[in-house]
Amino acid sequence: MESKTKDHGEDVFVLVEQYYPKEGRSKEVLEIATESAKGIFGIDGLLMAKTLTPKKSDGAICNITTWQSEDYFKSFMKSDALKELVKSPMMATVKEATSDIKVNMYKLALGWHQS
């Protein structure tokens, strides 16, 4: 069987959010991270959203979103959808349930997936 790949393009932008749960709050933080990822489904320019859970108990729970370009991400940052998400009780809870939240932004150097 021949493997096929699809290129992601040159302008792809990736956002990585790392949530470090306080002791005993991992399950709660994971639930919030997955709900947050589900909540942006269908946003214009969003290619993919993933939630990762750490193999080690002291690791970060991560949300990774992949966008067609940084411009699409910036448009989302100004959207009513994000304003509602930020004001939600879920976001207040995640801030209280974590010891640290880190956000990193990347330009894609190489990206493909097998179909």
Averaged in consecutive runs of 10 residues, what is the pLDDT profile of the chain (115 residues)? Answer: 56 96 95 93 94 92 96 94 87 94 94 76
Model pLDDT, residue 2: 52
Q: In the Cβ-directed half-sphere of 43, how many Cα atoms lie within 13 Å?
A: 28
Model pLDDT, residue 5: 47
Cα separation, 7 vs 49, whole angstroms = 17
Model pLDDT, residue 6: 53
- Its pTM stands at 0.86
Q: Domain extents for the chain?
A: 10-107
Among 40, 47, 60, residue whose Cα is nearest residue 111 = 47
Does the domain made of 10-107 have the CATH classification 3.30.70.100?
A: yes
Model pLDDT, residue 29: 96
